[in-house]
Homo-oligomer: A and B are copies of this chain.
Amino acid sequence: MKSDGEIARAARLKPIAEVAARLGLGPDDLDPYGRHIAKIEDEALARAGAAERGKLVLVTAINPTPAGEGKTTTTIGLGDALNRIGRKAVICLREPSLGPCFGQKGGAAGGGYAQVVPMERINLHFTGDFHAISAAHNLVAAMVDNHLYWGNALDLDLRRITWRRVVDMNDRALRDVVLSLGGPKNGFPRQSGFDITVASEVMAAFCLAQDLADLEARLSRMVVGYRRDRSAVTVADLGAAGAMAALLRDAFRPNLVQTLEGNPALVHGGPFANIAHGCNSVAATRAALGFGDIVVTEAGFGADLGAEKFLDIKCRKAGLAPDCAVVVATVRALKMHGGVARSDLDRENLTALEAGLANLGRHVANLAKFGLPVIVAVNRFTSDTAAEFALVRDVCRERFGVEAVSCSHWADGSAGAVGLAEAVSAVLDENRPSAFRTLYPDEMPLADKVATVAREIYGAGEVIWDERARADLVQFEAAGFGRLPVCIAKTQYSFSANPALTGAPSGHALPVREVRLSAGAGFVVVLCGEINTMPGLPRHPAAEHIGVDAAGQIVGLS
């Protein structure tokens, strides 16, 4: 099997205008970035917004394991297969973050024969959206310290400045720094730090904004710190929102690329799925719903984090009503949830598989609580046995009441996901009015929202509150933020806050350590356990093997 990079480089890409034409977009609707990438112009976006008619399919997954699930490849494979069977499908994905490409995980543009291309550009600078977000974020930071330097007229408490800086790089040395050393000409020393760009609140607001005006309003509301009396100082107080909007103007338009099979994909925005909501921009999803008959999109991590936030934050706020959910699982990952060690995954183990299916079952049941029809996609590996798949299919059908479809898009492209596409089409063609509902109403108190997600989605027995966190929630409600949804940040590896608890634990306690207001993004972040917002590099970073060959091709990026 060729590497992802080899497959991507061997691909014959269509001119992006040709891909766009299939969506009814003419040359004037495109702002090209090279021959194979384009941003979609505002007028075309407005047309799409007015038209919005497509069906929305969410691709989510069981809790991730080191065995890999292939959620992005399944999203792409399903999109390609829907096009293959004659549907006009558009794929919506998050943009990859630059930093992790040089660390362990490599790129994030799919894999095998289910990729979006041009892979190197998408994984590296792409259209510069993340650079623009970094610049907008860091402009505020510079203006905060500049404000202190020139006399602090807003009376910010030096110890309570919450706005940090960002960089799109895995750089653990920047997590915790002291700034403004070196004497009076450099300002007032204080402790702060850097997050990776995808953890910026600007990223989350960017992805949830309806239009540029809404984005600027969200930016304005962002809190940069507090005064001694605990009143908030915002981006608007600093006068930075307009300049941020100027920096983000071009970035805000969705990016059109293509799959290896030449089908359209919008790749735009990419917030973290723990301290943020983990899915592509509302702008892209909206545009896709206007241009396509079916939109296939994904949410970060497993369904407990990604799908819950997609539904309770993004769909709630953007007024989107998804029509179907696909839960991706693999036999290998299910066996890990059933207790099998990674080194033993190649062996058939029906007992462990059956135990591990509890994880899948919980996610399926959870999605039904949102009123969504569910299909299970079993992403096939060569080590899977017929008996293993049969067990998954039977348990899904008999115990979970859903169909499980085997797919091999990674190896076979769209041909490997035709069964899944047909199953999804069948659900959509029933044309049932969407029964989508959020898990909790806006008016529910914040603490009850957390308790609801903990109980209904995580299977937790109780929420254990840090006293300070509980008090902060009360303060947020008093300040008028009680109607916001909650964005729970916990480990992605388990329904619980303990990454070692695989399968489908229940009755556990969800410990809330801290809460943070993301007033611009429009949610309250609830931190359960340590959440790292600045990754580090491994002992041998992938960067050591990335380079440019004699022909000018980028190598080592996958």
Contact = CB atoms under 8 A, between A and B. Distances in A.
Interface of A: 31-35, 42, 98, 102, 120-121, 124-125, 128, 131-132, 135, 138-139, 141-143, 145-146, 149-150, 165, 167-182, 185-187, 191, 193, 212-213, 216, 239-243, 245-247, 249-250, 536-537, 539, 541, 543-548, 550, 552, 554, 556-557
Nearest to A174: B179
A148 to B, nearest CB: 8
Contacts of A139: 102, 169, 543
A546 B239 CA distance: 9
Contact of A169 (B138, B178, B543): B138
A149 B541 CA distance: 13
Contacts of A241: 547
Nearest to A167: B138
Contact of A172 (B42, B168, B186): B186
Contacts of A546: 242-243, 246
22 contacts: A102-B142, A102-B243, A124-B250, A125-B135, A125-B250, A139-B543, A142-B537, A145-B172, A149-B173, A172-B187, A178-B181, A216-B548, A241-B547, A242-B543, A242-B545, A242-B547, A243-B543, A243-B556, A246-B554, A246-B556, A249-B548, A249-B554
A539 B152 CA distance: 11
Nearest to A248: B548
Contacts of A539: 150
A212 B250 contact: no
One complex includes copies of this chain to the number of 2
Contacts of A128: 125, 128, 131
A250 B191 CA distance: 37
A149 B249 contact: no
Interface of A is mostly: mixed
A425 B475 CA distance: 73
Contacts of A556: 242-243, 246
A214 to B, nearest CB: 12
A173 B145 CA distance: 6
A178 B174 CA distance: 9
Contacts of A143: 537, 541, 543
Contacts of A543: 139, 143, 239-240, 242-243
A396 to B, nearest CB: 41
Contacts of A541: 143, 146
A536 B167 contact: no
B191 A172 contact: no
Contacts of A35: 31-32
A173 B167 contact: no
A539 B174 CA distance: 27
